[in-house]
Amino acid sequence: MIGKIIGQKYVSMAKTWVPTLAVWGTVGGVALVHLTDWRLVLDYVPYISGKFKKDE
């Protein structure tokens, strides 16, 4: 159905770009976590969040 709307050529081009975009998206996500406060992000990961409890 999508091939009829935008054409088979563009569908095949999009399929070849999916792995590249996935890799760059992962790299961007890791860079975002690295450049921001990593502890703030990891507080939402269930297993890791218990390791960083603050002693009050």
Determine the Cα–Cα distance for residues 55 and 26; give it in Å rounded to an integer.
33
Identify the domain containing residue 39 by its residue range.
14-52
Distances (CA, A) of 6 to 3, 15, 17: 6, 13, 16
Residue 21: HSE in the Cβ half-sphere, 13 Å Cα cutoff:
6
pLDDT tens-place string over residues 1-56:
777 788 888 888 889 999 999 999 999 988 988 888 777 777 777 766 566 666 55
Q: What pLDDT score does 8 carry?
A: 85
Structure tokens at 35: 């450049």
DSSP-derived letter for residue 36 is S
Instruction: Please give the tally of structural domains in the chain.
Output: 1
In a domain, 6, yes or no: no
Residue 7 included in any domain:
no
Give domain status of residue 46, yes or no: yes
Residue 24: inside a domain, yes or no? Answer: yes
In a domain, 44, yes or no: yes
